[in-house]
Chains A and B, each alone.
Chain A
Amino acid sequence: MLNISNLTKTYGGKRAVDDLSLHIAKGEICGFIGHNGAGKTTTIKAVCGILEFDGGEIFIGGRSVKREPLECKKNIAYIPDNPELYDFLSGIKYLNFIADVYGVGTIERRERIHKYAEIFELTADLAQYISAYSHGMKQKLALISALIHEPRLMVLDEPFVGLDPKASRAVKEIMREKCDKGGAVFFSTHVLEVAEKLCDKVAIIKDGKLVAYGEMDKVRGDSSLEAIFFELDEGGK
């Protein structure tokens, strides 16, 4: 579903992402871990086609993000680490805007908005302007908008920040459900326990380089993900 090969992105003279390669197959959830400034968001933005990169290739469902960006974007859902939404629109108008842009039909959008707004308990607030939303409500709205076109690949940057426990559990269930239906999920997180329980694969990035990558059981071994993370982090110092 997602194939990143030799991705390189340089800011000024600094390599933010250095020759990074990973592959996420259908049905897999891959957690992306690293300290602040390690290159997670840069990688995620490159995957979503909103950041040009210097070297390497990214394929989504076999299509190149560089050559066919629009086809790739139609198949993915992206949520940034801090979803700034159009606060001059109401929640429902924002969802309809996204549905129009993704070409979601009238019936389907109504069903999906109803379903996900109920799951995230946002139905009663959909007529409110986004400017009146809390951080968590914005995060929920961003999640609903990301799911409205039934994406095949979900790319989420810190999706659990600001969510209440019930919504967090709903997101985890939706992620698993998407994968069970042949989709895939690639998300970054600092919550190692969540990654450990939820992910089939894990990728650990440090200073732009992938320092560990593979199936969760193999990367973790007999230890915990936290122990491995700190071992890798301190090993490079």
Chain B
Amino acid sequence: MIKTLFILNLKALGANFVKTDKKKAGAGKILLVAFIAVYLTAILIGMFTALFSSLLEPFFSMGIGWLYFAFLALIVFGICVFSTIFTASAQLFGAKDNELLLSMPIKPSSVLISRLLVILTFEYVFVLIAAVPAFVLWLAGGYATAAGALFFIIGILLLPLMAMSAALLLAWLLGAVTSRLPHKNVITLAFSIGFLLAYFYVFANFQGYLGELVSKGLELAEAFRRAMPMFYAFGKGIAEGSVGGGLIFTLWSVLPFTAVITLLSANYMKMLIVNRGVVKAVYKERTVKAGNAISALVRKELAHYWSRPFVVLNSSIGSLFMLALSVIVIVKQSDILSYAGEFLPMLGGLPPAALAAVFLVLLCATNNLSASLISLEGKNLWIAKSIPAPPKAVLLSKVYTHLLISGFPCLVASVCTAMVFAKSMEDWLIIMLLPQAVGTLIAVGGLAINLHFPKLEWTNEIQAVKQGWSAMITMFGVMGTIAGIGLAYAFLLNSIIPLMAFLWICTGVFAVATVLIYVWLMKFGIKKFAEL
């Protein structure tokens, strides 16, 4: 039964990536998904190879080779826990077919384990992407032993179990805390953003930490050993072939996992059927000011957006960064200017304002909210189609929503950045206009792509946001376009045209493209919408 359910869950997940509404996946689509997967894997493997190659020699030469593997374990643990908390919560406690499956003569523990196995499968993929480069470098460095290699394989198999135990406990705690609260989305969102900011803070300061780690290796190793004995055991088992280390890590992984699974299996049914009773909001009749259709539609889109933390995180992370950037450039103005003073001469005296504008463009490019706004209508699409609002208004409300979510933070970030880097009116204008031109192009372009590739049949909205063709095409299309323009300038055009003039041409091209796509939306897009 577990096998059947596991295969069913895996198939459902696979279909989300390659299937669009009512159509079977073609070979082309499968190939494209495979290409994207290989591309992303290659990038991650490259990143981990660079990281571990900078750690291998220093640690092993200092006699603290275990820290190399402890570091690997810590990274893998962090990635697995963060990627699993919300998936585990959604898969275990929020899956729409839970009630159906539990009404059948299937053991609740079978449902639980089949879902956990799917999550574990993905965790193993993450683990391998990080572990293989670390392993190969270790072998190539000549530090490997047979016992160490054996412990490495065992340890890598056990590590996701430890991460899953922690993730399940955190997911359960988060669910227990938020279930009685009326605004649990806000708490989940705050939690996610906090986690993400902490991650990026560590990431941004990573080189500094690495330097410190290498220079104060022995001192930090001792602190690490005391604070995280499970990772110390993991590292010792592999680097020194220590049986004791291997056994201790095995216990650290297996015991909590067994305890969590036993606890969950025994209480899974109860956890799903218990009604903790959310505090009921009290209705007070009051007069509400009447609004027009377009503002009602935009308010509806914004309410939808704010109610789904994963939509905020997956489709508009750039807005969060832009707001953070606004604060950083003002608070850390002198540090940034001094860093820029050292850094800019290396780029051959390129204008700081132009580079600031390009940086804002990169942040704007990570926002692809409009690419999933049609898909997010899902089974509610009948409302948008049956109300007496023209399709044009429905489409415009989605463009406006994207512009509000992306454009406003971009405006704030542009003003703050320009205050630091702009030296002339032209500098101000390029910092203000270029990112907005890109943001507006993505707003209309993403919507046009979503009209072509809608994903209206989903069981979880995350499928519409993360796993739809529209979001993928928009994300890679924008990244590819910006990379292409950047490379074209760097290798072909930089000797012909100054960067500032090139950016003005880009702004103009983006504006023209926006107008063209807007015209298409209003003429043909509304027909596409009617056909949905």
Known: A86-B383, A103-B293. A132 touches B288 (CB 8 A): no
Decide: A101 and B386 in contact? CB cutoff 8 A: no
Q: Which residue of B303, B308, B382, B389 is within 8 Å of A50 (Cβ)?
A: B382
* Complex Cα gap A82–B282 (Å): 27
Complex contacts, A71 vs chain B, CB 8 Å: 388
Smallest CB separation, B372 vs chain A (Å) = 15
Complex contacts, A80 vs chain B, CB 8 Å: 382
Decide: A84 and B380 in contact? CB cutoff 8 A: yes
Decide: A49 and B300 in contact? CB cutoff 8 A: no
Decide: A49 and B308 in contact? CB cutoff 8 A: no
A-B CB proximity, top 9 nearest: A100-B296, A127-B283, A73-B388, A127-B281, A88-B307, A84-B379, A50-B385, A126-B283, A74-B388
Closest residue to B300 on the A side, CB-wise?
A: A97
Beyond the given pairs A100-B290, A109-B290, 13 more chain A to chain B contacts, judged by CB atoms under 8 angstroms and listed by A's residue number, are A49-B386, A52-B530, A70-B390, A71-B388, A74-B388, A78-B382, A89-B300, A98-B387, A100-B295, A100-B296, A104-B290, A106-B289, A127-B282
Decide: B380 and A90 in contact? CB cutoff 8 A: no
Scoring B residues 361 to 383 as 1 if CB is less than 8 Å from chain A, else 0, what string do you get?
A: 00000000000000000111011
Complex contacts, B386 vs chain A, CB 8 Å: 48-50, 73, 78
* Complex Cα gap A26–B143 (Å): 90
Decide: B387 and A88 in contact? CB cutoff 8 A: no
Decide: A105 and B278 in contact? CB cutoff 8 A: no
Scoring A residues 23 to 59 as 1 if CB is less than 8 Å from chain B, else 0, what string do you get?
A: 0000000000000000000000000111010000000
Total inter-chain residue pairs, C-beta < 8 Å: 92
Complex contacts, A97 vs chain B, CB 8 Å: 296, 299-300
- Which of B258-290 touch A at CB < 8 Å? 278, 280-285, 287-290
Smallest CB separation, A63 vs chain B (Å) = 12
* Complex Cα gap A50–B304 (Å): 23
Scoring A residues 64 to 91 as 1 if CB is less than 8 Å from chain B, else 0, what string do you get?
A: 0000001101100010101011101111
Any chain A CB within 8 A of the CB of B97? no
Complex contacts, B287 vs chain A, CB 8 Å: 106-107, 110
* Complex Cα gap A105–B387 (Å): 16
Complex contacts, B389 vs chain A, CB 8 Å: 70, 101
- Which of A213-227 touch B at CB < 8 Å? none
* Complex Cα gap A114–B296 (Å): 21
Decide: B291 and A100 in contact? CB cutoff 8 A: yes
Binding site for A on B (CB under 8 A): 278, 280-285, 287-293, 295-297, 299-300, 303-304, 307-308, 378-380, 382-383, 385-390, 530-531
* Complex Cα gap A114–B293 (Å): 22
How many chain A residues have a CB neighbour from B under 8 Å?
42
Any chain B CB within 8 A of the CB of A99? yes
Decide: A52 and B390 in contact? CB cutoff 8 A: no
Complex contacts, B288 vs chain A, CB 8 Å: 96, 106, 109-110
Complex contacts, B299 vs chain A, CB 8 Å: 97
Complex contacts, B290 vs chain A, CB 8 Å: 99-100, 103-106, 109
Complex contacts, B292 vs chain A, CB 8 Å: 100, 103
Decide: A89 and B280 in contact? CB cutoff 8 A: no
Any chain B CB within 8 A of the CB of A3? no
Q: Which residue of B282, B293, B307 is within 8 Å of A100 (Cβ)?
A: B293
* Complex Cα gap A41–B330 (Å): 59
* Complex Cα gap A231–B145 (Å): 84
Closest residue to A149 on the B side, CB-wise?
A: B388
Decide: A88 and B308 in contact? CB cutoff 8 A: yes
* Complex Cα gap A93–B285 (Å): 12
* Complex Cα gap A126–B285 (Å): 9
* Complex Cα gap A114–B287 (Å): 11
Complex contacts, A78 vs chain B, CB 8 Å: 382, 386
13 contacts across the A-B interface (CB closer than 8 A)? A48-B386, A49-B386, A88-B307, A92-B283, A96-B288, A97-B296, A100-B290, A100-B292, A102-B388, A103-B290, A105-B290, A109-B290, A123-B283
Complex contacts, A126 vs chain B, CB 8 Å: 283
* Complex Cα gap A92–B285 (Å): 9
Complex contacts, B280 vs chain A, CB 8 Å: 127-128
Complex contacts, B282 vs chain A, CB 8 Å: 127
* Complex Cα gap A140–B22 (Å): 31
Complex contacts, B307 vs chain A, CB 8 Å: 88
Smallest CB separation, A174 vs chain B (Å) = 19
Smallest CB separation, B315 vs chain A (Å) = 15
Decide: A86 and B304 in contact? CB cutoff 8 A: yes
* Complex Cα gap A78–B386 (Å): 7
